Structures are given as structure tokens and as C-alpha cells.
A = this chain, B = another copy of it.
Amino acid sequence: MTAEQNQLFSKIRIVLVETSHPGNIGAAARAMKNMGLARLYLVNPVNFPHEKALFRAASARDVVENAVVCTDLSEAIGPCQLVLGTSARQRRIPWPLVTPKQAAQQVTAQGDVEGDIAIVFGRESKGLKNEELQQCQLHLNIPTSDEYSSLNLAMAVQVVGYEIFCAAVDQPPAPAWDQPPATNAELEHFFEHLEDTLAVVGFHDPENPRQLMTRLRRLFLRIAPDHMEISILRGFLKAVNDLKNKGANI
């Protein structure tokens, strides 16, 4: 691999959420290393560390041993500038949905960007929850037969890693941009600020939220705002709050 490819691959985090079977963690680690990926994040694994994880990892023991164990998803994806969540089906409020090939193009287009990239895989039985998927800019769906659509977890990691590897080996240059993308943590702070402000101006009733925040999350995650855009939006929200406070003091 070239230096650029190495740099890109070193930014990719594979995040497994609440994995039940340690064997799947090991098999995922092996699949990662086969595809040049090394950074494994485990959010609340059910059985870890475990000898089965090391056994199934074969020559990717190092990936398992260096795995970062987190207690919640935000810890694993907080500093990331692109977050993809795997999802077996379309949700009630549709989200931008990409195939593994399209996801790989998105990932390799981040070559010049400084921040990390996360690809998040859910539980063996139930995948990712809606509130977890709503922290992701893009949803990634692996095409499958209608007859049996549930891929083994490590197999899903293999397919996505394979596509990223293929895309990286033959990669068009990334389009230039003048600002770094916002991190996941910046985005989450923005959403908090936005929800508060919507309530302050009486447009949002936290007791009866309906789909308002889901729709706004989908909107702003889809856009992948850059750092300065988030600063501008938060500056505006602050000005609205200041106005409210001034009004209250009159």
C-alpha cells in the first residue's frame, strides 16, 4: 500500500456494538487485518476478553489485543468526521442509504481529511437501535437474498472491508474543501443546542416531540456540515437564546 493508503486506513475505526459472541469479535478482527484495517472499537461487548476471540482472530491477535473497549457509542465515534451505521432495513423515516461500494467511495474520498472515520456494526440479533443509527450520517446496507438476509457479523465486516480495500487501491483524488468536517461530538452538541433553542422559541414541545428532531437529525447529518458551518449555526442559535433572555429581562 502507498503512504496515502496507509494514512487513510489508519483513520478507519471498526466499531462493534454489544457483540454477544467473542468468536465474532475474533473473526471480525481477522477480516479487518486481511483488508488492511487495524483499529477495532468494542462498545459494551458481552464476553470480552475471551480466548475464543483470540482463537478465531488467527494471525490478527494484535487487532483483538489492541481493541478499545468503550461503555457507550459516543465514546467510540465522538471525534469521527464520518460515521456510517450498518442497517438491515429501511427505517420509518428514510435515511441516506448506501451500498458497500458507495460507502467505500465515501470513505476513500476522506483521504485528505484529518479526522477519523467510523463504521458501526450492531448486535448479532438486533442490529443497531434507532437512536444509534440517528448518530450516523449514512446508513449502509449490504444487499442480500430476500430469503435469508441476516449476515453473520464478521461476514458483514469482511464485505465492507473488502470494498474499502478495493476502492482505496484505485482511488480518485478527494475534492478540495476549505474547512474540516465537523466531528460527531460537535454535531451532537449542535443537536442539543438546536433542540433547546427550538423549545425556547416554542416551536418544539419536548413532551410531544413527534418526529421533529429525527427529521432535523436526518437533515443535518445528511449534509455533513463542516466545522465552520457548525460554528455559524451555533452562533445563530446563541443569538436566538440571547434575544429570548433579553426579552425576558425587559
Q: Are B201 and A239 in contact (CB under 8 A)?
A: yes
Which of B176, B223, B228 lies in contact with A222, CB distance below 8 A? B223
* A33 on interface, CB distance cutoff 8 Å: yes
Q: Are A225 and B219 in contact (CB under 8 A)?
A: yes
Which has the most chain B C-beta neighbours within 10 Å: A31, A143, A250?
A143
Q: Are A33 and B145 in contact (CB under 8 A)?
A: yes
Q: Which of A118-171 contact B (CB under 8 A)?
A: 142-152, 154-155, 158-159, 162, 165-166, 169
* A60 on interface, CB distance cutoff 8 Å: yes
Cα-based distance from A222 to B139 in the complex (angstroms): 18
Q: Which residues of B contact A96 (CB under 8 A)?
A: 175
Which of B166, B201, B220 lies in contact with A101, CB distance below 8 A? B166
* A30 on interface, CB distance cutoff 8 Å: yes
Q: Which residues of B contact A142 (CB under 8 A)?
A: 162
* A3 on interface, CB distance cutoff 8 Å: no
Q: Which of A216-250 contact B (CB under 8 A)?
A: 216, 219-220, 222-223, 225, 228-229, 232, 235-236, 239-240, 242-244, 246-247, 250
Q: Which of A25-47 contact B (CB under 8 A)?
A: 27, 30-31, 33-36
Q: Which of A3-53 contact B (CB under 8 A)?
A: 27, 30-31, 33-36
Q: Are B175 and A97 in contact (CB under 8 A)?
A: yes
Q: Are A151 and B201 in contact (CB under 8 A)?
A: no
* A206 on interface, CB distance cutoff 8 Å: no
Cα-based distance from A150 to B76 in the complex (angstroms): 28
Contact with B along A58-100 (1 / 0, CB 8 A): 1110000000000000000000000000000010011011011
Closest CB in chain B relative to A47 CB, distance in Å: 17
* A172 on interface, CB distance cutoff 8 Å: yes
Question: Quick one: closest B residue to A219, CB to CB?
Answer: B229
